[in-house]
Amino acid sequence: MKLVLYLILIFLFNYFSYSETLQNKNEVVTKSLSDDNLADEFFSLKTLENKDTVIYTRSRGDWWFGITTGTNPGYFFGDLNLKDNYFREQPLISYKNSFGGGLFIGLFGQWFPTTNYVGASLRLHLLDKSFFNSYSDPYNDSLNTRFKAETSSTYFVFSPSAILRLPVKYLELFAGLDIEILTSNRWVHKTQFDNTGAISQDQPVKIKPEKMRFGGHLGVSYDILIADFNNEARVFFTPFITFSYGTDIFKGYNSSRSAVQARIGFNFKFGFDNVKTDTVPFNPFYVEPIPYLASSDVLRGNVLPELIIFKPLELKEFAAIVPIRPDLTTESPSMDTLTIEKPTPPRVPASVIKPGEMRRFNYESSGSTQLYERLENYLNYVVEFLKANPKATVRIVGHSDNQGTPEQNRERSIERANVVVRYLQKNGIPLTRIFSRGDGALYPIGDNRTPEGQLMNRRVEITVVQ
């Protein structure tokens, strides 16, 4: 137990201290993206000796392994009859229902691709111990005799499960089978005489519970990231609770004792990341740009060499510079009566690209995936920013509402992301600087039971990272 607590403290320290890492030797910068829908990814930059920049994007891997441990309280019910060779008046004793407990520890394995709705896991409980104490009704004699059964059984448990990803991120529902193999047991039958000062006589019971039990379980778990190792792997702390029911524990002497148990515990699971690598060549002619971008409507994609402030002329200033025409006669309108419209100043950008800020764009219908004016205007600003900042990249995540099958929703979300990717490529942004995916209807931000919530969930999310 001390070792487990020590590991927990190490992991928690690593988790709170690892928000941003700088390794001067290799000039590696690692950041965890703050947006909830991108929190599974770590973004890293590494400058090589030839000054090229390598971009690493790490996401959760598919395979996970670790340990599982916890407690298993339960309710033990059904007929339980035990034989007493010394109590002649009632040689077969019946016991009441009762509560019990126990503990377990074992190994854990999981396969769950991040692009899938479903996965699988396997738990092997190397030690699964359960116990309960049951009492009989007092016997109507002068000693007020009653009986107590103290039971303890140890099993090896094989539990395969299917996993379903729930809309709440990191929350998973799982269900599966339990195969329990009895490895040891100790059942003690006690005779108690309450009227003589609670004298107790122990009588070991030479019986065995069922050698094998079959059952099923249903539970939920929640992943909590606690450590990231060497930009390659990560560790999750996963609390969980399951409810299980199976075949009878004991059937001797016309008994049918069974149990409903809750396993409450946690997993420590470790897995290697999926890593995607891209290289941005060094540009020796690159000049650090100013932090402002001009409107694409004014400069049509070119970056201002200096900050230009548009200041409209006042009306009287504009009138003062109107040239005097020689063909004006006294009958012509005077300057006092001449109406001159005030010029409209050029439009400044409606939005400014802020690295790390995620922007959402929604779609009017469930099947719509094409660009529209507001989204296209924003992408023009993204193009300008990426061209002005060669080390910047863009993250694009498509989402869907739940109006369709899971496969249809996933395809729509992917197409929404791909439409944005194609537009950026058409405007000169290389694919090595674009990272995209579709999450289907996995991560709603609105209530899918209402039209307003469905509109919120039909979206594409764009984040520029620098």
Residues 212-256: tens digit of each pLDDT: 999 999 999 999 989 887 778 899 999 999 999 999 999 888 899
Q: Hey, what are 339's tokens?
A: 């109406």
pLDDT of residue 75: 96
Mean pLDDT of 5-18: 46
Q: Name all contacts of 311-314 with Cβ < 8 Å and 24+ positions apart.
A: 311/345, 312/342, 312/343, 312/344, 312/345, 313/343
Please give the Cα distance from 286 to 281 (Å, whole number): 11
Q: Hey, what are 172's tokens?
A: 């998973």
Please give the Cα distance from 127 to 153 (Å, whole number): 10
Residues of the chain with pLDDT > 70: what percent?
70
- Per-residue pLDDT reduced to its tens digit, 314-370: 444 444 444 444 554 444 444 444 454 544 444 434 457 888 888 999 999 988 999
Specify the fold of 296-465.
60s Ribosomal Protein L30; Chain: A; (3.30.1330)
- Is residue 33 pLDDT above 70, yes or no? no
Residues 182 and 229 sit within 8 Å (Cβ to Cβ) = no
Give the contacts of 407 (CB within 8 A, at least 6 positions apart). Answer: none
- Per-residue pLDDT reduced to its tens digit, 120-156: 999 999 999 999 999 888 877 777 778 888 899 999 9
CA 34 vs. chain centroid, Å, equals: 13
Please give the Cα distance from 358 to 464 (Å, whole number): 7
pLDDT of residue 363: 93
8-state DSSP, 194: G
Residue 134: closest CA among 321, 259, 6, 18: 259
CATH assignment of 63-272, among 2.40.160, 2.60.40, 3.30.110, 3.30.460: 2.40.160
- Is residue 302 pLDDT above 60, yes or no? no
- Is residue 50 pLDDT above 70, yes or no? yes
Residue 76: closest CA among 288, 254, 245: 245
Please give the Cα distance from 169 to 245 (Å, whole number): 28
Give the contacts of 36 (CB within 8 A, at least 6 positions apart). Answer: 169, 443
Please give the Cα distance from 384 to 256 (Å, whole number): 75
- Is residue 385 pLDDT above 50, yes or no? yes
- Is residue 1 pLDDT above 60, yes or no? no
- Are the folds of 63-272 and 296-465 the same? no
201: pLDDT confidence band, cut at 50, 70 and 90?
A: low
pLDDT of residue 125: 96
Q: How far apart are the first and last CA of the chain?
A: 44
202: pLDDT confidence band, cut at 50, 70 and 90?
A: low
pLDDT of residue 57: 77
Please give the Cα distance from 423 to 411 (Å, whole number): 18
pTM above 0.75, yes or no: no
pLDDT of residue 51: 76
Strand segments (E) across 247-388: 258-272, 274-280, 358-362
Residue 268: closest CA among 228, 223, 230, 219: 223
Burial class (CB in 10 A: 0-12, 13-18, 19+), 174: buried
* Complete edge-to-edge strand list for the sheet that includes strand 274-280: 20-23, 28-32, 42-47, 53-59, 274-280
pLDDT of residue 164: 94
Please give the Cα distance from 387 to 162 (Å, whole number): 46
Q: Work out the number of other CB atoms within 10 angstroms of the CB of residue 345.
A: 10
Please give the Cα distance from 417 to 229 (Å, whole number): 31
8-state DSSP, 432: G
pLDDT of residue 15: 41
Please give the Cα distance from 373 to 462 (Å, whole number): 16
Report the mean per-residue pLDDT for the chain. 78
pLDDT of residue 281: 73
Burial class (CB in 10 A: 0-12, 13-18, 19+), 337: exposed
Which of 24-38, 143-157, 161-175 has the highest average model confidence (pLDDT)?
161-175
Residues 366 and 400 sit within 8 Å (Cβ to Cβ) = yes
Kindly state the helix (H) or strand (E) to which residue 388 belongs, with its residue range: helix 373-388
Q: What is the signed CA dihedral for 298, 302, 308, 312, rounded to 10 degrees?
A: -10
287: pLDDT confidence band, cut at 50, 70 and 90?
A: low
Residues 419 and 375 sit within 8 Å (Cβ to Cβ) = no
Mean pLDDT of 300-321: 41
Residue, of 207 and 232, whose pLDDT is higher: 232
For the chain, give the number of residues.
466
Per-position b or e across 354-364, b if 16+ CB within 10 A of its CB: eeeebbebbbe
11: pLDDT confidence band, cut at 50, 70 and 90?
A: very low
User: What Cα–Cα distance (Å) separates residue 186 from each residue in 125, 189, 208, 297?
Assistant: 19, 10, 8, 83
Q: Hey, what are 413's tokens?
A: 């979300």
* Helical pair 406-426 and 373-388, crossing angle rounded to 10 deg: 50
Residue, of 386 and 291, whose pLDDT is higher: 386
Please give the Cα distance from 333 to 335 (Å, whole number): 7
Three-class SS of residue 223? coil
Please give the Cα distance from 446 to 65 (Å, whole number): 34
pLDDT of residue 27: 39
Structural domain boundaries in the chain: 63-272, 296-465
